[in-house]
Structure 1
């Protein structure tokens, strides 16, 4: 019988290799939805959808992207129409470019597969949705920008948070350095900040970091007693 921790993915060097499992259907469905929307934008940009399709991406950003100005207006007026409230989530399905969508899909397939196999398909949807909303809330409260928040990175970073929790617990069970679990998010944040300094950019990293945090917390709450044990360990330190 294998002594590998159930929280260490087979691809992790700390575990043992295993057969490739099929992707959870919900992960495939999310990836196909993102791919389908992007193909629609691409078809429109090449004029395959007629005159109205040329500005399909711009129109979608206007209709479904998350704008801080819209958020602030709703807060000041105390009115929350559904057409704007849905932006807290729908922005995730409107990519700014094909490359962004491709990277989101790649991360979604890889991380969604790992998280789904350990927590279940409902957990994947919950983590992605909660992290997406957390990202837009953080962007709305902490960022003052005219640029809209678009793309699925906050939701994907939430899955990174779930994966990080899996590694954290698994490394602890193997009596190894648990801080290694945060190496992926540290590397990604470092690259993102470096690119921001060199090439400039928006404050999307705020939404991404919020998504990661939300995913980490959500995954923790899905394991009975895990959150309490982590708090006890922190107090002992």
Structure 2
């Protein structure tokens, strides 16, 4: 029999966060084993590059679709599939850690559907806005725009919480400020590329969606519209 008063020492991870984590981890585990020579044979060493080519986001392909007004499903799906392919184990592990931590907090504050919407909308809009803003031929992969969307949602929760306490709301943006600062410092010493812009767009998309997805915000928005 189960003790009704038993409380687990660690709150269970929301199912949607676990599924997203397993999707990313499953791809990376297969690539890790392939690169270690455990599965796939000699040809498996090139699997990661093949996945980047077949499922990564290409600015050149995006420009071609816009110019020709043709949108093959296999190419359109790249705005989703790029999030589940990473450049290496370290690249993937940081994304997964942030996903677990932020996804859990956002799910507890807004619900699991909100996490799913923010994760995918931030990833999709992050790279679309990036492609519209820049003409960089470098392939984009990794769940970082999606995770930055969750950082935006977390910042929204903190922003509202600080407002209710009468505290300074700018403190809600400490996390994104620190991460962007690290990006700036890294870029001063190493060639960091332009993916940070897609991540920043992902942050703003995640933050903005909370005005609709956060509990009570939709009613507030409707109220403001009716009184105009």
**Cα distance in 2 between the residues matched to 1:195 and 1:227:** 39
C-alpha displacement of 1:230: 10
Aligned pairs for 1:30-49 (under 5 A) are: 30-47=20-37, 48-49=39-40
Matched, 1:120 2:111: yes
**Cα distance in 2 between the residues matched to 1:93 and 1:226:** 35
Quickly say closer, same or farther: Cα 1:156–1:26, change in 2 above 3 A: same
Which one is further off, 46-55 or 187-196? 46-55
What do the CA deviations read for 1:20-77 (whole angstroms, capped 9, x no partner)? 4211011011111111100111111122212332211100000000010111111111
SS in 1 for 2:48: helix
- The count of residues paired between Structure 1 and Structure 2 equals 213
Match among 195, 199, 209 for residue 190 of structure 2: 199
Aligned pairs for 1:204-215 (under 5 A) are: 204-215=195-206
Query: What runs of 5+ residues in structure 1 fail to find an aligned partner?
Result: 1-18, 232-237
Instruction: Show the counterpart of 2:71.
Output: 80
Which one is further off, 135-144 or 209-218? 135-144
**Cα distance in 2 between the residues matched to 1:225 and 1:194:** 41
**Cα distance in 1 between the residues matched to 2:101 and 2:166:** 26
**Cα distance in 1 between the residues matched to 2:89 and 2:165:** 40
Match among 27, 46, 49 for residue 17 of structure 2: 27
**Cα distance in 1 between the residues matched to 2:181 and 2:224:** 26
Instruction: Show the counterpart of 1:11.
Output: none
CA root-mean-square deviation: 1.7
**Cα distance in 2 between the residues matched to 1:228 and 1:168:** 21
Match among 99, 107, 113 for residue 108 of structure 1: 99
Aligned pairs for 1:159-170 (under 5 A) are: 159-170=150-161
The TM-score, its normalising length taken from structure 2, stands at 0.89
What do the CA deviations read for 1:115-156 (whole angstroms, capped 9, x no partner)? 001111111110000000011112211122221111000000
